[in-house]
Structure 1
Amino acid sequence: MFSLDSILVLFLLFNSARCLSIGENSAARSLTTQTTSPSTSAVSVALGGVTYVNKGIVGFGLIPSNFTDSLGDTLGGIGSGIAFKQATWKSLSNGSYTGTLVVHPDRGYNVISTVDYRSRQHEIDFVFTPYNGTDDLDFESAQTTLQLTYVDTILQFDRGGGNTSGLDALAVRAAENGFPTVAVADPEMPIANETYQHLTIDAEGLIAASDGSYWVSDEYGPYVYHFSANGSLIQTIQPPEAFLPLDSNGDLNFTSVVNPTTGRAGNTGFEGLTLDAENDILYAMLQAATIQDGGDDDDTSLYTRMVAYDIANATVTPPTMVGEWVVPLPVSTSKSKTRKCSEIHFVSENVFFALSRDGNGNGAGTSSSDTTSKYKQADLFSIANATNIAGSKFDDPSNPVAPGGVLDDSVTPATYVSFVNYIDDDQLARFGLHNGGDEDSTLVNEKWESLALAPVNDPANPDDYFLFTASDNDFLTEDGISIGVPYNAGVNVDNQFLVFQVTLPSVSPGTIQQAIGI
């Protein structure tokens, strides 16, 4: 294991910002369990008559587990959502790339209990130098491929300038002034009828819009929040009633501790958020099935739902729901357990990435079984032939689309295929990483939850893109600070980043460029 000092030396390089002081469902089931090998050669998959290629890992970087943000809190959980800040991606003449990543943590260090962690996003500058060689790099050298430099933190506020919070949603605030009923909590007064309570956000998805604003998806609601560039809440999107956590009396109960009677299960809200920038269509996807669709059991949580909203004139006209589809989740053949989806990313018309994973890896535990991941992949799915159920009877929770995990005969799900494998041993070894074994800084992290695409800009490979992905380390460090209070989580888990190179022939010219503002 390398010392923190050696890691920080690498982390400080190129510091240009502030100086750091530190198909059919049966087909989908079989495809999602295959492995992408051999790792030393490109791996191809077909979807909708198009061949997509994974060329493997080309970059790795990290931020140390005990690094603190400008507010004095431990910088962690930042893999929950990432996006390229508009107009920052640049190709350099020496073959490197620079830019700024906007990263969003979830609800803070909550291993013991939820805390009053204020919603925020961070800006991180990077210098990326792709490594395409076949020789294995040592761990220290691998980090030179993606140099990361912390820049700043922006807090996000409730309407009227009130604070946001990561505390469990123990109360409900009624709809008013164009905003829907929302989940709230107050650290001093967790009672539903108080005049003010903090808006609770467990952020899991992030979109950097062309006007400088940001869209953030949330697990508590599940909702999508629209924030201005300075962090002020602009508007809130509430999905159909079938998504909302309702108790047996039909009342909203947003807590993540106890599952509702219908709607999203606890901690499986809108994990996925992405944007079709050309058409201004925002997509959000649940991490797993709703309760009425089998989401109360991993064995029956086989289908999740994705919704789409037209946000072309969002600041003038409220977003309009224009689509809803059923998406199958990959299933382990050995244990028949569903791999929940932690992120989605728009690729081209009807085609998306889906990041699904198990719960093993660095941060999951110290036993061999906990540290050995079985499934971590950025797969592809298409809704080209899927049934659009928006506005149908299935938006009423009394009409499940997949009761007990059995899909309604009238509905065709998205077509799902296996694609980018995060835990290929040979690929990991090229960057000094490993899957399974000792829980150290070179062990691949447990929770990968974000995706971002940028063009390679190679005339010889015009369809090639870099797929950036980051992990949520759950703020795990032995030297942490949570809302001003020191803590020791008993383990150090760095914030890891990986970059893959992929060929995406279906992408229309300019689509990704427009999405990131270049």
Structure 2
Amino acid sequence: MKSKLCLTVLAALVAAGNAQASVDLVATGQIDGHLRDRSPQAAAALENGVPGNLLGGIGSGLAYAGCDTFLALPDRGPNATPYNRWVDDTASYIDRFHTLQMQLAPNPAGSALPFSLTPRLRDTTLLSDRSYLYYGDGRSVDLPDGRPRLDHPFRHYFTGRSDNAVPSMNSGWPLDARLDPESIRVSADGDTVYISDEYGPYVYAFDRKSGQRTAAYPLPAMFYVPKVAPVGDDEIALNTVGRLANKGMEGLAITPDGHTLYGAMQSPLLQDGGKNGSVTRIVKIDLRTRKVSQYAYALTNIGKASKPKYGTISEIVAVNDHQLLVDERDGNGFGDGSEAAFKHLFLIDLGDAQDVSQLQGEAELVPAAVPKADFLDVVAMLGEHGIAPADVPAKLEGVAFGPDIEQDGKHRHTLFLGTDNDFLPTVTDDLHPQGAENPNRFYVFAFDAQDLPGYQPQRFEHLRCHGH
């Protein structure tokens, strides 16, 4: 009864907003995928020949840091360039985040969109730890050892290479050097960034200025696979519990008061159905007590009733301390050689949701799954502005609320979406046989208060914006 009531309330809230038809695309922007980032010390070619400072994949995670500043997070690096299947084509790309300035400016009357977005790269911060990290010796995968050239005492860098994991430990070992960052959020004081990952899954805190790790937030043992391997398919075959390889903690949200993190698993745990499961988990982490709670989220069947196929979670963002927007999508679109069909933002409310920490398996999780209501059909919205499904990026992954704007005399909120271009500056496929540029893209949507009545912007301490 409670679930039905929650669903009714959620649907009513979203329907009220949709009746106004006010959620709309207001700006797009991009950064050239051929550019280099601001880490010249990491510029040397990787094992696959790709420059170590190629500015790619930066929409894997996106966090608002106040004013016109955002932090953009690439994932584990350019593994879409094949060279060594024994490490899933991963390389010694040093994990990092970028500081971007995102300027929104009104366009002249009659323009296709009411605002222009100009993203600029301001800084690049490499991720490291003072403690020694484990790097693979490379012998079993026919590679040099996995230690980055920049590694030195008291600064040991995290990288994307998949063999940088202690073979005798489970996937949650915090001294593994391998890290596949997927989402990023900024603390209330602005000094710390929180990053979630797929290899562990890990949730780490890093100093925003230096990039050094300052804390780790362990998850329950059920999230870790007991046996690690450099090839994802091998890791799946070796385990019956824990996260699905390359489907770990894809989403991370921080509540407006900065006290709580929510983390979303991209797909169900192995013991909950893995590739064929329909219910994944969202964790709640109290940053003060480190207490962890868990909730069930039912993925959308984007296949057929007779042959189900489920979407995956790419990101979550906090609306307030108990409501989240969930970015759930298919893998289709530009970059995949197909047409995008399913990319939605759903609103969920965890305020009265059941803690499923003691439940295991799809049958137990299904009745406990939280209701969800459709907030935004991204493919349809982009289509209204002339962006065909074949040109909608396959990997719309970064989601963040941004600065408020004034539009037609109204005060409006913004929501930014970023794309992961897989470090591929150009794409050639059946739909783009002559090749097409593949920049780091950003989309800005505006919405009114009635579209998301519970929305509370994140509070940043000591923030001073020019012109405010």
Instruction: Give the TM-score category using the shorter length.
Output: 0.7 to 0.9
**1:55 CA drift (Å):** 1.5
Structure 1 counterpart of 2:268, one-letter code? A
| In structure 1, distance between residues paired with 2:5 and 2:79 | 39
* Alignment deviations for residues 429-455 of structure 1 (CA, whole Å, 9 cap, x no partner): 53x53222xxxxxx2211011111135
- Structure 1 SS opposite 2:271: helix
Match of 1:204 in 2: 182
| In structure 2, distance between residues paired with 1:57 and 1:153 | 29
**1:159 CA drift (Å):** 3.2
Structure 1 counterpart of 2:253, one-letter code? T
| Contact 1:278–1:511 under 8 Å retained in 2 | no
- Which moved further from structure 2: 464-473 or 68-77? 68-77
| In structure 2, distance between residues paired with 1:169 and 1:284 | 25
| In structure 1, distance between residues paired with 2:310 and 2:5 | 16
| Contact 1:304–1:326 under 8 Å retained in 2 | yes
- Structure 1 SS opposite 2:326: strand
| In structure 2, distance between residues paired with 1:374 and 1:264 | 26
Match of 1:193 in 2: none
| In structure 1, distance between residues paired with 2:456 and 2:373 | 25
| In structure 1, distance between residues paired with 2:462 and 2:355 | 28
| In structure 2, distance between residues paired with 1:408 and 1:509 | 28
Q: 1:495 to 1:168 in 2, by over 3 A?
A: same
Match of 1:453 in 2: 401
Q: 1:303 to 1:131 in 2, by over 3 A?
A: farther
| In structure 1, distance between residues paired with 2:114 and 2:240 | 46
- Asked if residue 127 in structure 1 is aligned to residue 103 in structure 2, the reply is yes
- Structure 1 SS opposite 2:262: strand
Match of 1:412 in 2: 368
* Alignment deviations for residues 376-400 of structure 1 (CA, whole Å, 9 cap, x no partner): 112211223321134x3x3xxxxx2
**Residue number among 351, 355, 365 corresponding to 2:327 in the alignment:** 355
**Residue number among 340, 343, 359 corresponding to 1:373 in the alignment:** 340
**Residue number among 43, 51, 54 corresponding to 1:74 in the alignment:** 54
Match of 1:155 in 2: 126
| In structure 2, distance between residues paired with 1:332 and 1:144 | 33
- Structure 2 SS opposite 1:181: coil
| Contact 1:170–1:183 under 8 Å retained in 2 | no
Q: CA RMSD in A?
A: 3.4
**Residue number among 167, 186, 200 corresponding to 2:161 in the alignment:** 167
Structure 2 counterpart of 1:434, one-letter code? A
Q: 1:27 to 1:200 in 2, by over 3 A?
A: farther
Match of 1:341 in 2: 313
**Residue number among 295, 300, 309 corresponding to 1:325 in the alignment:** 295
Structure 2 counterpart of 1:493, one-letter code? N
- Which moved further from structure 2: 376-385 or 445-454? 376-385
Match of 1:280 in 2: 259
Match of 1:310 in 2: 286
Aligned 1:24-39 pairs, distance under 5 A: none
- Asked if residue 213 in structure 1 is aligned to residue 156 in structure 2, the reply is no
Match of 1:294 in 2: 273
- Asked if residue 56 in structure 1 is aligned to residue 24 in structure 2, the reply is yes
| In structure 2, distance between residues paired with 1:273 and 1:509 | 17
Q: 1:27 to 1:169 in 2, by over 3 A?
A: farther
- Asked if residue 100 in structure 1 is aligned to residue 69 in structure 2, the reply is yes
**1:128 CA drift (Å):** 0.7
**Residue number among 219, 242, 246 corresponding to 1:239 in the alignment:** 219
Tell me the TM-score normalised to structure 2 length: 0.77
**1:332 CA drift (Å):** 1.2
Match of 2:134 in 1: none
| In structure 1, distance between residues paired with 2:117 and 2:14 | 34
Q: 1:288 to 1:65 in 2, by over 3 A?
A: same
Structure 2 counterpart of 1:512, one-letter code? Q
| Contact 1:203–1:218 under 8 Å retained in 2 | yes
* Alignment deviations for residues 400-436 of structure 1 (CA, whole Å, 9 cap, x no partner): 241xxx3447x521111112111126x4453x53222
| In structure 2, distance between residues paired with 1:476 and 1:27 | 46
Structure 2 counterpart of 1:275, one-letter code? I
| In structure 2, distance between residues paired with 1:516 and 1:360 | 42
Structure 2 counterpart of 1:202, one-letter code? D
**1:511 CA drift (Å):** 3.9
* Alignment deviations for residues 157-208 of structure 1 (CA, whole Å, 9 cap, x no partner): 0233211111014522889xxxx72363xxxxxxxxxxxxxx1111001011
- Asked if residue 385 in structure 1 is aligned to residue 335 in structure 2, the reply is no
Structure 1 counterpart of 2:186, one-letter code? A
- Structure 1 SS opposite 2:458: helix
Q: 1:232 to 1:414 in 2, by over 3 A?
A: same
Match of 1:188 in 2: none
For structure 1, the 5+ residue unaligned runs are 1-22, 32-43, 90-98, 185-198, 313-318, 395-399, 437-442, 480-489
- Structure 2 SS opposite 1:145: strand
| In structure 1, distance between residues paired with 2:352 and 2:28 | 36
Q: 1:386 to 1:517 in 2, by over 3 A?
A: farther
- Asked if residue 46 in structure 1 is aligned to residue 11 in structure 2, the reply is yes
**1:69 CA drift (Å):** 0.8
Match of 2:250 in 1: 271
Q: 1:132 to 1:25 in 2, by over 3 A?
A: farther
